[in-house]
Amino acid sequence: MMGLPRKPDGISGEEVEKYYRDGRIRDIAEYCESDVVNAYPLWLRYELFRGRLTDAGFQESEACLIEFIEARASINPDRSPVP
């Protein structure tokens, strides 16, 4: 699979409260989205190993994730996938 999106620059989990107080909700959303997008392939593999997802289903889901990452990167080049 292609590289996964990197975490947004300038924010870490310990700064989320400060970002919230400063009204930087979009930055928090991007930070959380990166966690979800990075965890999804792990969950897919887990479901594949459990037998709840076929190889074809795994590949299709992974392809959809790549499409999502590429679409988001085309909208905002600063959020491009890590090589």
The per-residue pLDDT for range 38-81, each reduced to its tens digit, is 899 999 999 999 999 999 999 999 999 999 888 887 887 665 44
pLDDT attached to residue 78? 62
Identify the pLDDT of residue 5.
Answer: 60
What is the distance between the alpha carbons of residues 78 and 6, in angstroms, rounded to a whole number?
A: 10
pLDDT value of residue 19: 94
**What sections of the chain are H helices per DSSP?**
16-21, 25-50, 55-75
